[in-house]
């Protein structure tokens, strides 16, 4: 069978690489893909305009695609799954209604309250004046969030009222996030440690994936600007068995049941971003997709077939599915372009030194292939991912792989995994 993956990041390289290992898969297409997916065996890139649902449908029919996996949030929120399902094309991903969990912070916060899912206190506003007035009534720090999709940049932590006023001016007056900022959520600042909980969900059935933790900040020690994620590891010791059960009972099942009641049952990867303190959980956000970079270390540990897992979810057969992981730990270190998450340069030629690729994998993200060369084309360029008998060994192996990659202005954190090792 043939598979189509939509997207171009490290997550999509990992999804394509994993699908291609499956004996039942003859070929994997990635649209638009990156240099890594271009160079991968049994995988090729295709240029389809992902805003043109009709063109995606035509491609699936012409190539007899038997499974579509949609990586990023944008096409999910825009309804690509709804469209492909209406054309009877086997697709793994939530409907646009269910994807509102990520697509609108107001939707998700109201949903949490309605279904008793623990989250930070909040108010939402669709005009500058009432939001500004509210700033007098709250404690600091506070968190201001653009309602819509903002490529991971729409959350501003404000230490005092002055910063909060500036954030509101930025969002409402200067249109920093475009239409995504037509509304804001202002919420209580939560302290604690963050963890990601990612599962495959189909209606009322769930298969939790191996636990993981991401390092969001740009600098060592978790300081500096927030990014899409500078590295991740799996498993995450913070998610103890007791906490795992609590997350299922207090967050995942109520969410799945709530969506069924709303008439939008979930299908796809469902990602809860959590804050944990004193063994208590609060939901920071939901993502309607697999995490990036969490996908890379998680899939390196997955022993089962990803294609069978997605098909079991689509066919409502998760009940009889059992998923297998290696006991090994994994760690993925993102190599970024200097300047990311702000301005950075692209089109730097990449040199990858020969290396033994047993137990590790260099996933590409912002790369392209031109004239037989690999060039940088994004902020996060690679995720060097490796296994080890424990997290420390996985970390060492991942950093050994990082050493094999050279390009002008490369930047990576030196401490990915420290939270799990400590």
Place of tokens 């492909």: 84
Pick the closest to residue 412 from 390, 393, 395 (CA basis): 395
Partner interacting with residue 96 (select from ligand GLY, ligand AMP, none; CB below 5-8 Å by kind): none
Per-residue contact flags (x/-) with ligand AMP for residues 173 to 212, judged by CB under 6 A: --------------xxxx---x------------------
Q: What are phi and psi of 126, to 5 degrees?
A: -115, 15
Partner interacting with residue 325 (select from ligand AMP, ligand GLY, none; CB below 5-8 Å by kind): none
Smaller CB separation from ligand GLY, 90 or 104: 104
21 Cβ contact partners less than 8 Å away, ≥ 6 residues apart: none
CB of residue 354 to ligand GLY, shortest distance in Å: 30
Single out the residue of 9, 36, 93, 229 in contact with ligand GLY (rule: CB under 6 A). 229
Cβ atoms within 10 Å, residue 255: 24
SS3 of residue 258 by DSSP:
helix
The secondary structure element, H or E, covering residue 385 is strand 380-388
User: Pairing relation of β-strands 213-214 and 231-234?
Assistant: antiparallel
Q: How far is CA 224 from the centre of its chain?
A: 20
Smaller CB separation from ligand AMP, 183 or 361: 183
SS3 of residue 308 by DSSP:
helix
Tokens linked to 297? 């270390």
Single out the residue of 214, 254, 394, 407 in contact with ligand GLY (rule: CB under 6 A). 214
Per-residue contact flags (x/-) with ligand AMP for residues 216 to 235, judged by CB under 6 A: x---------x---------
Cβ atoms within 10 Å, residue 105: 27
SS3 of residue 379 by DSSP:
coil
| 155 touching ligand AMP, by CB under 6 A | yes
Binding positions for ligand GLY, 280-319, rule CB under 6 A: 287, 291-292, 294
2-15 burial, b if ≥16 CB within 10 A, otherwise e? bbbbbbbbbbbbbb
| 143 touching ligand AMP, by CB under 6 A | yes
CB of residue 290 to ligand AMP, shortest distance in Å: 15
| 73 touching ligand GLY, by CB under 6 A | no
Partner interacting with residue 214 (select from ligand GLY, ligand AMP, none; CB below 5-8 Å by kind): ligand GLY
Binding-site ranges for ligand AMP (CB under 6 A): 120, 143, 145, 155, 157, 187-190, 194, 216, 226, 273, 284-285
Given the rule CB under 6 A, which residues bind ligand GLY? 214, 228-229, 287, 291-292, 294
């Amino acid at each position: 069978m043939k598979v189509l993956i939509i997207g171009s990041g490290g997550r999509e390289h990992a999804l394509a690489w994993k699908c291609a290992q499956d004996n039942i898969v003859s070929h994997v297409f990635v649209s638009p893909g990156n240099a890594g997916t271009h160079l991968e065996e049994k995988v090729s890139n295709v240029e389809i305009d992902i805003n043109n649902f009709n063109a995606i449908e035509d491609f699936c029919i012409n190539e007899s695609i038997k499974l579509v996996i949609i990586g990023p949030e944008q096409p999910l929120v825009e309804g690509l799954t709804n469209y492909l399902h209406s054309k009877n094309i086997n697709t793994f991903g939530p409907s646009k209604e269910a994807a509102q969990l990520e697509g609108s912070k107001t939707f998700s916060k109201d949903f949490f309250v309605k279904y008793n899912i623990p989250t930070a206190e909040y108010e939402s506003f669709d005009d500058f004046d009432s939001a500004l007035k509210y700033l007098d009534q709250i404690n600091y720090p506070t968190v201001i969030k653009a309602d819509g999709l903002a490529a991971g940049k729409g959350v501003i932590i404000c230490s005092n009222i002055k910063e909060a006023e500036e954030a509101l001016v930025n969002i409402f007056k200067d249109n920093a996030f475009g239409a995504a900022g037509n509304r804001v959520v202002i919420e209580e600042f939560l302290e604690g440690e963050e963890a990601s909980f990612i599962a495959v969900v189909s209606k009322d059935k769930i298969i939790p994936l191996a636990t993981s933790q991401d390092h969001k900040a740009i600098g060592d020690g978790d300081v500096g600007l927030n990014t899409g994620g500078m590295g991740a590891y799996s498993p995450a010791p913070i998610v103890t068995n007791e906490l795992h059960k609590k997350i299922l009972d207090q967050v995942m099942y109520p969410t799945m049941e709530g969506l069924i009641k709303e008439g939008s049952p979930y299908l796809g990867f469902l990602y809860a971003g959590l804050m944990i303190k004193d063994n208590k959980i609060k939901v920071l956000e939901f993502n309607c997709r697999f995490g990036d970079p969490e996908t890379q270390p998680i899939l390196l540990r997955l022993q089962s077939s990803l294609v069978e897992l997605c098909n079991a979810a689509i066919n409502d057969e998760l009940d009889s599915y059992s998923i297998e992981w290696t006991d090994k730990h994994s760690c993925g270190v993102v190599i970024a372009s200097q300047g990311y998450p702000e301005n950075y340069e692209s089109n730097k030629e990449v040199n990858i030194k020969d290396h033994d690729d047993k137990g590790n994998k260099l996933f590409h993200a912002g790369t392209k292939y031109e004239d037989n060369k690999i060039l940088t084309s994004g902020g996060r360029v690679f995720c060097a991912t490796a296994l080890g008998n424990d997290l420390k060994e996985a970390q060492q192996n991942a950093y050994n792989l990082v050493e094999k990659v050279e390009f002008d202005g490369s930047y990576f954190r030196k401490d990915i995994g420290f939270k799990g090792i400590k």
